[in-house]
Structure 1
Amino acid sequence: MTADSTPALVKQADADTEGPAPAGPAAARGPRARNTKAYLRYVAAKILGAIVSLFAVLVTSFFLFRLIPSDPVKQMTGGRRVSAEQLQSLRHQFGLDQPMWKQFTSYVGDALTGDFGTSFQFHAPVMDKIVEALPATLLLTGTAYVLYSALGIWLGTRTAWRNGSTSDRFNTALALTLYSVPSFWLGLLLIIVFSVGIGPIPGMFPTGGLESGNETGFAYVLDVAHHMVLPVITLVAVGYAQTLLVMRSSLLDEMGSDYLTTARAKGLRDDAVRRKHAVPNAMLPTFTLMFVNLGHVVAGQILVETVFSWPGLGGLFYQGLSVPDLPLVQGLFFVFATAVILANTLADVLYPLLDPRVGR
């Protein structure tokens, strides 16, 4: 035995004496801590990206709507004959006579505090008008969102699992047709058929609005629900079609996976294989779509709300564009974009919790 080999033998003996490294919570703490740090870095990156996107929206909203070839001050006068001094006074009142860079810095500073100025046409703070119209939008689009998400997931699962059947071909063809139809066109068609009088019962549903204006108590609730029928059907028809197609495509991709074959080989019933194994994995793309659509619950549906004269954010945005009402349009544009960005960021943050492969 050489001198060089002795230390190695001693170290080996010491290692044998000490025994194996401890296992259990202490050993698992290292990988768990690394995964937590990686997830926190991932979340921080997504939040930073959202902040950058929001600032880009501020810049875009300021310059984009100033490209509209119209003088907002003249639009405010409603075509009345006013003197040049009065026009200049209005421009000074709304800060439109200041240099562009000064208007921009004032706009960004005020927007960060939630102050988007005063509406040209309503002569009221923009944020007050947004808060006033928000409940109507949430009522309409929120109801439609819940209905078309549930319907799309359910039908998408059934059609994919019965791929090639008559019901699959019918539901897929119907979904493709509805997804291709413009929502405002479908809304107009429903008004013509069920409101104007071409349908089986003339005037079955009101042509638009949120309420009749002369109901109270439970009768008021029924009146609002009556007004919601056609716009909700319009939104559900288009929204469920998109959800169905995404869910069906995702589930078809999963159906050829080896783990489903293994589950069947173990004796699991077809319904259990679908419910416990295939659908949860196929839900990941649909989950992303649902969060994207969640942002549009706040952003509203401009064309649908306009067609049905719904007093929500979408209809308010259309009124602002018609003038044009720069403070109102800029404020609504920022609110819409913020809702979509926050919904996407929330989806990005939650996605790794559903699929650990993301964010590593």
Structure 2
Amino acid sequence: MSSESTPALLKGAAGVESTASGGPAPAGPSARSPRSRSTAAYARYAAGKLAGAAVSLFAVLVTSFFLFRLIPGDPVKQMTGGRQVSTEQIAAMRREFGLDLPLWQQFTQYCGKALTGDFGTSYQFRAPVVDKIAEALPATLLLTGTAFVIYTLLGIWLGARSAWRNGSAGDRANTAFALTLYSVPSFWLGLLLIITLSVGIGPIPGIFPTGGMESGNTEGIDRVLDIAHHLVLPVVTLVAVEYARTLLVMRSSLLDEMGSDYLTTARAKGLRDDLVRRKHAVPNAMLPTVTLLFVNLGTTVAGAILVETVFSWPGLGGLFYQALSVPDLPLVQALFFVFAAAVILMNTLADVIYPLLDPRVGR
């Protein structure tokens, strides 16, 4: 062996020894820790979901512009209310609202302003659309938020109890009743409740108001109680229609957990059956239900249109019905976008959060 090769061999041996003894390894993608690789995978997953949501929102923005222009009727003539107006006045109103422009120009202006948060001016209210939505939003959030909390808790509780007593008479009755209510149209159920509990039928007196959010002549705690009184029937309608979905998903998830080894181990340790269900089975069965809760939150906001219309609730649903009857194109377009955006954003939020609860997703 030559003398020149000796340093090279020693250097190679030293490198092998350094690596074997836990010294610094060569830098590169394969040298990253499992945690950094997992974080990078989650970041790519979340970015993909957010990009998909952005594309969906833009598609909704475009759809809302063209969809409501298929509605028969002339907004300007509807706003005149059948009064005799001259051709010059009608032309002036068309110029005021930009309806005299070519369709492509209306579309580009609409998209440009909407991307900055400006949805135009309402035809019938002569006020910025964003302001009208902001006025009606608290009433919708009060109604849908109250209903969401109630039907979520009710669905989880009844779903868990039904699954734990799978096949019992209570389970069958619970599931059948929930499915029956879930298949009932919300507007029909609302009208039925108004007839029986507001107007009164036979021996049943009218207990609740037929519509509206408040009587308008109360203050302080009396006003709070008055709003709560008006809130009962709309909330009952939403809860009755929506709680079945949570119940069925919770029941199915818990049934999948019933035969797991960790439950057998918990019982073998002498834990009470109720404790095994609450402390061990239900938390593990909650993962699909948590995802559903986000989806439900978005669909409840969008699905409150019929309920708010039936009960004359002054929220976004009632405002949408008013705008559609004109048609008030800027207001209809903006509300359609809000309802669709609520569903899209809640679905995206569920997709982004789920991998944090179950690391097997999105890796």
Q: TM-score, normalised by structure 1?
A: 0.91
CA contact (8 A) 2:196 2:204 kept: no
Question: Partner of 1:21 in structure 2?
Answer: 22
Please say if 1:206 is aligned against 2:216. Answer: no
Aligned length, in residue pairs: 351
CA contact (8 A) 2:140 2:316 kept: yes
- Of 321, 325, 328 in structure 2, the residue corresponding to residue 325 of structure 1 is 328
Aligned-residue offset at 1:167 = 1.1
For 1:114-133, what aligned pairs fall within 5 Å after superposition? 114-133=117-136
Please say if 1:276 is aligned against 2:279. Answer: yes
Question: Partner of 1:4 in structure 2?
Answer: none
For 1:94-243, what aligned pairs fall within 5 Å after superposition? 94-198=97-201, 200-243=203-246
Distance 1:197 1:144, change over 3 A: same
CA distance in 1 between partners of 2:128 and 2:10 (Å): 83
CA distance in 1 between partners of 2:19 and 2:57 (Å): 57
SS at match of 1:214: coil
Aligned-residue offset at 1:336 = 1.2
SS at match of 1:96: coil
CA distance in 1 between partners of 2:247 and 2:133 (Å): 32
Residue by residue over 1:82-109, the C-alpha shift from the partner in whole angstroms, topping out at 9 and shown as x without a partner, is: 2222211111111111111110110011
Question: What is the identity, as a one-letter code, of the residue corresponding to 1:351?
Answer: Y
Question: Partner of 1:293 in structure 2?
Answer: 296
Question: What is the identity, as a one-letter code, of the residue corresponding to 2:111?
Answer: V
Question: What is the identity, as a one-letter code, of the residue corresponding to 1:167?
Answer: G
Residue by residue over 1:297-327, the C-alpha shift from the partner in whole angstroms, topping out at 9 and shown as x without a partner, is: 5435010000000000001001111111111
SS at match of 1:205: coil
CA distance in 2 between partners of 1:284 and 1:18 (Å): 43
Question: Partner of 1:49 in structure 2?
Answer: 52
Q: TM-score, normalised by structure 2?
A: 0.90
- Please report the RMSD computed on the Cα atoms of aligned residues, expressed in angstroms: 2.5
Question: What is the identity, as a one-letter code, of the residue corresponding to 1:253?
Answer: D
Distance 1:303 1:29, change over 3 A: same
- Identity rate, percent: 77
Residue by residue over 1:118-177, the C-alpha shift from the partner in whole angstroms, topping out at 9 and shown as x without a partner, is: 111112111111000000000111001001001100110000000011111111111011
Structure 1 residues without counterparts, runs of 5 or longer: 1-6
Worse-matched range after superposition: 197-206 or 137-146? 197-206
Structure 2 residues without counterparts, runs of 5 or longer: 1-7, 24-29
CA contact (8 A) 2:246 2:289 kept: yes
